[in-house]
Structure 1
Amino acid sequence: MTVYTVGTFDLLHVGHLALLEYCKTLGDTFVVGVASDEVVGSYKRNIPVIPLQQRMEMLKALKCVDDVVSYETLEYVSNCEKLDVDIFVIGEDWGSEPHNIAVEEYLKSKGAKIIQVTYNPLTSSTKIKQNVIAQIHEGKYLVNNVS
């Protein structure tokens, strides 16, 4: 069974690790799709701090990840087709945008599962970036999530 999830995975943190380790428990092969800088820029204000190839290299180094692929456009069906995905793991912020609906319809048509997970509330790449900015400009943390 092939499990697939997608994301930016900028500033890899323990919330990412928990998600990735969970995904690995769901099947035999676990593949991570990583959004290119251009894709991220199409829906977020800022592009990733870590370039795509470096984000992919870090993910490939994790023992819970079997393979890493990138996606250069904001659509998920083509990678799901290529990988013959059985389980697609999505985050709690999954919306009803056309690219999301398209992959849901594709996966349902082939009998694949979609599993939605909640994010780790203790950390995020955004919180980490906010803390770095706060330290540089104010010498203190904006968000208390660094141990």
Structure 2
Amino acid sequence: MSRTVITFGTFDVFHVGHLRVIERAAALGDRLVVGVSADQLNVSKKGREPVFSERERLEIVAALKPVDEVFVEESLDLKRDYILRYGADVLVMGDDWAGRFDEFGDICEVVYLPRTPAISTTALIEKISSTG
């Protein structure tokens, strides 16, 4: 029986930490579905517009070999709906979200992966901004 894994992220200023979480998530199943945060969701979560548009971020993530399907994540409140819609057996999130999505254990396995040390999109954006 095949296992579908779902994960979510903004994936702005794509870096090796993003690639590693996608590769590790894909290794937990046979099919990987990735929700990419809508531009407006990013503004509400992080207080800023993403550097790359929603369309560009979808295109980047969709081009990755481990990714089977991408969609726009419109709201954090719709996680349960997305899990059910895509038939996910496993939800993968970074460990910075540890415990936040345990409630979905009734419909799928919930896995929190350690973040790649010393890599942060926000820190990269700040570094680029300060050198520009």
TM over 0.5, shorter chain = yes
1:71 is aligned to 73
Note closer, same or farther for the CA distance 1:22–1:95 as it changes in structure 2 (3 Å cut): closer
Pair member with larger Rg: 1
- State which of 43, 46, 49 in structure 2 corresponds to 1:47: 49
Q: CA deviation at 1:95?
A: 6.1
Residues in 1 aligned to 2:16 and 2:35: alpha-carbon distance in whole angstroms? 18
Q: Deviations over 1:46-97 (max 9, x none)?
A: 121100011000001010111111111222111111011100011122166x
Give 1:36's aligned residue: 38
User: 1:123 aligns to what SS in structure 2?
Assistant: coil
* Distance in structure 2 (CA, Å) of the matches to 1:7 and 1:52: 11
Q: What is the correspondence of 1:101-120 to structure 2 with a 5 Å cutoff?
A: 101=101, 104-105=102-103, 107-110=104-107, 112-120=108-116
- The offset of 1:108, in angstroms, is 2.1
- The aligned runs of 1:116-135 (5 Å cut-off) are 116-135=112-131
Higher relative contact order (CA 8 A, sep 6+): 2
Instruction: Tell me the SS of whatever aligns to 2:76.
Output: coil
Write the distance in 1 (CA, Å) between the matches of 2:106 and 2:27. 24
Q: Sequence identity of aligned pairs in percent?
A: 34
Is residue 98–residue 112 contact of structure 2 (8 Å, CA) maintained in 1?
no
Equivalent residue, structure 2, for 1:94: 97
Report how many aligned residue pairs link the two structures: 129
Structure-2-length-normalised TM-score? 0.90
**What SS class does the counterpart of residue 5 from structure 2 fall into?**
strand
Aligned residue identity for 1:14: V
Gaps of 5+ in 1: 137-147
Superposition CA RMSD, Å: 1.5
TM (norm. structure 1) is 0.82
